[in-house]
């Protein structure tokens, strides 16, 4: 079976046209793959994990979000340098009791981890240590990119976590720091750039799951791809 090679221009977006041509021409060279990029979002209760993921995947700030129970899933297809990548975002419950036995399943094969804290709530920041332990406990490899997101920046007068403190923490743990607001429409680009930045890094760096666009009996093959490309990206970061 012909396998696409990363970074050599063989990959094509899974457009309707692409699929149609597949039907006409069964040549396996035309194999269309969409890479899947899996991100897990973790952090204390009520720091805004759900809103952030909504903002990224849906574009808007939901005015009524509720406590997340267990794990929610959202996805968005983004295009980076002409390649379509499916970004899967796993939004998790913040309450401690859900972490232990419930969420572990969703740490498997993650490509990146987003840690979220609330800039107006110091405990959500100090608890990050525990979240990092939690993450390590689930055997997330050290090379998996991690970013730190301070949310609710629009509440300027209530800020408890100074940027320099957060930056120090991020540096110490080899993470990029973003301060943003899922609520503020002006910040929506910033929210997007968090996930896009991760997507870019991953596109450039790691093996991603490939989704075979040619579906056979509704089944989709998953292929692990070796790291191959280290193409220069035109990413914002």
Partner 1 sequence: MAVRSAQDDGPTSSRWDGGAGKADFNAKRKKKVAEIYQALNSDPTDVAALRRMAISEGGLLTDEIRRKVWPKLLNVNTNDPPPISGNDLREMSKDYQQVLLDVRRSLRRFPPGMPEEQREGLQEELIDIILLILERNPQLHYYQGYHDIVVTFLLVVGEKLATSLVEKLSTHHLRDFMDPTMDNTKHILNYLMPIIDQVNPDLHDFMQSAEVGTIFALSWLITWFGHVLSDFRHVVRLYDFFLACHPLMPIYFAAVIVLYREQEVLDCDCDMASVHHLLSQIPQDLPYETLISRAGDLFVQFPPSELAREAAAQQQAEKTAASTFKDFELASAQQRPDMVLRQRFRGLLRPEERTKDVLTKPRTNRFVKLAVMGLTVALGAAALAVVKSALEWAPKFQLQLFP
Q: Tell the smallest beta-carbon distance from residue 189 to partner 1 (Å).
A: 26
| ∠ Cα 81 84 85 (to 5°) | 110
Could you say whether residue 233 binds partner 1 (CB under 8 A)?
Answer: no
Could you say whether residue 224 binds partner 1 (CB under 8 A)?
Answer: no
What CA–CA distance (Å, rounded) separates 199 from 197?
5
In DSSP terms, 88 is beta-bridged to 38, 75
Could you say whether residue 73 binds partner 1 (CB under 8 A)?
Answer: yes
Whether residue 150 contacts residue 119, with contact meaning beta carbons closer than 8 Å, is answered with yes
Of the candidate residues 10, 21, 30, 65, the single one contacting partner 1 (CB under 8 A):
65
Of the candidate residues 10, 30, 46, 160, the single one contacting partner 1 (CB under 8 A):
46
Q: Tell the smallest beta-carbon distance from residue 193 to partner 1 (Å).
A: 23
Give the residue from 69, 62, 109 showing the smallest Cα distance to 88: 109
When computed from its CA atoms, the radius of gyration of the chain, rounded to whole angstroms, is 19
Could you say whether residue 72 binds partner 1 (CB under 8 A)?
Answer: yes
What CA–CA distance (Å, rounded) separates 219 from 97?
35
Q: Tell the smallest beta-carbon distance from residue 149 to partner 1 (Å).
A: 19
Q: Which is nearer to partner 1, 186 or 219 (CB)?
A: 219
Of the candidate residues 5, 69, 130, 165, the single one contacting partner 1 (CB under 8 A):
69
Could you say whether residue 75 binds partner 1 (CB under 8 A)?
Answer: yes
Could you say whether residue 76 binds partner 1 (CB under 8 A)?
Answer: no
Whether residue 138 contacts residue 104, with contact meaning beta carbons closer than 8 Å, is answered with yes
What CA–CA distance (Å, rounded) separates 88 from 47?
20
Contacts of 148 (CB under 8 A, 6+ apart): 115, 117, 128, 166, 169, 170, 173, 175, 176, 177, 178
Q: Which is nearer to partner 1, 72 or 184 (CB)?
A: 72
**82-101 positions binding partner 1, by CB under 8 A:** 88, 93-95, 97-98, 100-101
Interface contacts to partner 1, rule CB under 8 A: 36, 38, 45-46, 64-73, 75, 88, 93-95, 97-98, 100-103, 105-106, 211, 215, 218-220, 222
């Amino acid at each position: 079976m012909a396998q696409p090679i990363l970074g050599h221009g063989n990959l094509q977006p899974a457009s309707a046209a692409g699929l149609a041509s597949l039907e006409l021409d069964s040549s396996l060279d035309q194999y269309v793959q969409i890479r899947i990029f899996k991100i897990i979002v973790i952090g204390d209760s009520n720091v805004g994990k759900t809103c952030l993921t909504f903002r990224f995947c849906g574009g808007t700030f939901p005015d009524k979000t509720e406590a997340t129970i267990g794990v929610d899933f959202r996805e968005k297809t983004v295009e980076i340098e002409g390649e379509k990548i499916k970004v899967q975002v796993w939004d998790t419950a913040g309450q401690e009791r859900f972490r232990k036995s419930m969420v572990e399943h969703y740490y498997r094969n993650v490509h990146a981890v987003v840690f979220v804290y609330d800039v107006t709530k110091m405990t959500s920041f100090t608890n990050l240590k525990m979240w990092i332990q939690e993450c390590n406990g689930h055997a997330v490899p050290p090379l998996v990119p991690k970013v730190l997101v301070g949310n609710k920046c629009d509440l300027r007068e209530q800020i408890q976590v100074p940027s320099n403190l957060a930056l120090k923490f991020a540096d110490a743990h080899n993470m990029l720091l973003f301060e943003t607001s899922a609520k503020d429409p002006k910040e929506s680009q910033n929210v997007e750039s968090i996930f896009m930045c991760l997507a870019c890094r991953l596109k450039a760096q790691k093996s991603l799951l490939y989704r075979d666009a040619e579906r056979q009996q509704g089944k989709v093959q998953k292929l692990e791809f070796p790291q191959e490309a280290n193409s220069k990206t035109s990413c914002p970061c």
